[in-house]
Amino acid sequence: MLPCAVGLLYPGLIVLLLGARRRVGALTAFAVVAAVAAWMRASDLVGRPATWLLVLLALIGGGLLTQSPKGWLPALGGGGLIGVVAGATWMPCVGNELASILNNAPTRPLEELLPMLVYVFGVTSILFVVALIPIVFEPIGRGLDHEAVTLIGGGLAVALVIALAGGVYNDLLSEFAQLSVR
């Protein structure tokens, strides 16, 4: 499952790492918006967004996320914008559950919105687990608040923007996909 989910997990990881103490809220915004974006594509309500638009959204989203410690608005906004990028670029392998959603979405879009939300929350649940652990176990929380975590998240966000702009986003995901199957 991991290689096919990397298109959601990589941007989600950025939100997790940059979301600071508001990481659960930022991730929730990310997952909801990613699901809606993926659902809109599946329902033929929108096409593939232009690359420049995705780059812009990733740039603003990443920038907002770095301001997460200052308030909820940048955390939720940043998570949401990265969610648009994830949902718009995610090209999944399709098993039985997702097949049901994707095959029905063009003719019965409203019926498939909730299942898509559930599916995306399921795929990204591992990120929510990591986001919730620091609330329960505070010492781990202090570790996640370390500057190095923010730097790694920032590095991944910069890589996302550069890869999108350079047309090599798929190559970037390939590297993570290979790591996940090793």
Partner 1 sequence: MQKLLASVALVGLAGAIVVTLTRADNDGAATAAAPERRPTTTAAVAASAPPVLAAEANQLVDLDGWLQTDIESLDDLRGNVVIVQFWTFGCINCKRTLPYLQELYAEHAGAGLEIVGVHSPEFTFEADPAAIAAAAEELGVTWPIALDTRQRNFFGWQGSRGYWPRTYVIDQQGQVRFDHVGEGKYEELAATVEFLLEESA
Provide the binding-site residues for partner 1, judged by CB under 8 A: 1, 3-4, 24, 41-42, 44, 46-48, 91-96, 98-100, 102-103, 106, 122, 125-126, 128-129, 132-133, 135-136, 170-171, 173-174, 177-178, 181
Rounded to a whole number of angstroms, the minimum distance from the CB of residue 140 to partner 1 is: 12
Q: What is the DSSP letter of 90?
A: -
Shortest distance, position 151 Cβ to partner 1, whole Å = 26
Give min distance, CB of 96 to partner 1, in A: 5
Residue type at 42 in one-letter notation: A
In the complex with partner 1, the residue whose CB is nearer, 122 or 155, is: 122
Q: CA geometry: angle at 70 spanning 65 and 76, to 5°? A: 45
CB of 135 to partner 1, least distance (A): 4
Q: CA quadruple 158, 25, 17, 10: dihedral positive or negative?
A: negative
Closer of 151 and 170 to partner 1 (Cβ): 170
117-121: long-range contacts, CB 8 A cutoff, minimum separation 24: 117/31, 117/32, 117/35, 117/36, 117/39, 119/35, 120/8, 120/31, 120/34, 120/35, 120/38, 120/87, 121/31, 121/35
- Our CB check for partner 1 shows the closer of 39 and 153 to be 39
Question: Least distance in Å: CB of 63 to partner 1?
Answer: 27
Tell me whether residue 64 or residue 101 sits nearer to partner 1 (CB atom). Answer: 101
- By C-beta, is 7 or 62 nearer to partner 1? 7
What CA–CA distances, in Å, run from 96 to 35, 67, 102, 119, 126? 18, 40, 10, 12, 21
